[in-house]
Chains A and B, each alone.
Chain A
Amino acid sequence: MIKKLFAAVLLVFMAVMFYQLYSNITEKSELSGVARGYAERGASELGTQNIVTSIVVTYRGLDTLGEVSVLFIAATGVAVLLRRRKEDEEYAAPSKRQSSEILQTGTKLLTPIIVMFGVYIFINGHLSPGGGFQGGAVIASAVLLLFLSDVNYKINHGLFNIIESFSGAFYVLIGILGLLLFGANNFLDNRILPLGEFGMLLSAGAIPVIYSLVGLKVGTELASIIDNMKKD
């Protein structure tokens, strides 16, 4: 009874709060403050066509590094908690049901295309919507499809760990390179490489490099989370 009363009071409170927020909304006709600065300076200063990317990778690059670290810690935590022990693997797994013919054939057809699409998303991060995180998630979903279609599929852990560690280390190194070349306040500056022609694939300085590293790191991390979650 008290529980229900509490829930009702909470609902009313939230309704009042959201109504307050909603009633105070006035549509803005122009940008203000820091948003305006990003929108005006982003394209000319960093050479990115997608302003969201210039904010995520360069202006707020430290936050992105933090996000990548959080994901890394989450993946490590899952690995520590759910790691398969050696003796578990020695037991012959009970006969698992094979997946259907349609799924197997579809996977063979789709996996290369999905991986290619993921790579496309993170390489074109500075030109079109998307970037490292999205591309990495798409690549991980291709790995997921492989797991679903073949019950005995195993990923190459050594290779995945090497890719993950190297991309993480190079990401930080690129950030420090900005510090060394341009002085303080320039951690993760993308102008360590030439900006190039606006709108081309190889432009916007180090942003395609950084986003490719982030994409590889996120993709391998999510894939190993799925691998650890997979029931064996």
Chain B
Amino acid sequence: MELQHGIIILMGIAMILSAILAMVVKDLISSVIAVGVVSLFASIIYLLLQAPDVAMTEAAIGAGLSTLIFLYALHKTKDAEEEND
């Protein structure tokens, strides 16, 4: 039980650190990946807190699909910027 608490607290700290990283880092692609990492840690915490249904949703949508959709959106906007120059 104590070990599980320790793991959850570590995961929470890792979540906060990657969230700060997402804001601070200059490269947008790295920022998107950092946001995905936040979701991944969140889904592990949900699993440890006995909420497997929410954990599955968070892993599939938060960490998987939305990261890729952000990457696609980034790609699209980058092309538009080049055309305008």
Contact = CB atoms under 8 A, between A and B. Distances in A.
In which size bucket is the chain A interface?
Answer: 20 to 34
B79 A229 contact: no
Contact of B60 (A134, A226, A229, A231): A134
Contacts of A50: 53
Contacts of A230: 72
Contacts of B68: 144, 226
In which size bucket is the chain B interface?
Answer: 10 to 19
A225 B60 contact: no
Nearest to A141: B64
Nearest to A222: B65
Nearest to A52: B53
Interface of A: 50, 52, 82, 121, 129-131, 133-134, 137-138, 140-141, 144, 222, 225-226, 229-231
A141 B65 CA distance: 7
Contact of B57 (A82, A134, A140, A231): A134
A231 B53 contact: no
Contact of B72 (A129, A137, A229): A229
A50 B51 CA distance: 12
Interface in B12-64: 52-53, 55-57, 60-61, 64
Nearest to A138: B60
B76 A229 contact: yes
A226 B72 contact: yes
Contacts of B55: 129
Interface of B: 52-53, 55-57, 60-61, 64-65, 68-69, 72-73, 75-76, 79
List the 4 closest pairs (A to B, CB-CB), nearest first.
A129-B52, A137-B60, A229-B72, A134-B56
A227 B25 CA distance: 29
A226 B53 CA distance: 23
A229 B69 contact: yes
Contact of A121 (B56, B61, B73, B76): B56
19 contacts: A52-B53, A82-B76, A121-B56, A129-B53, A130-B56, A131-B53, A133-B57, A134-B53, A134-B60, A138-B60, A141-B60, A225-B69, A226-B69, A226-B72, A229-B76, A230-B72, A231-B72, A231-B76, A231-B79
Contacts of B53: 50, 52, 129-131, 134
Nearest to A136: B60
Contacts of A134: 53, 56-57, 60
A144 B76 CA distance: 17
B64 to A, nearest CB: 5
Nearest to A134: B56
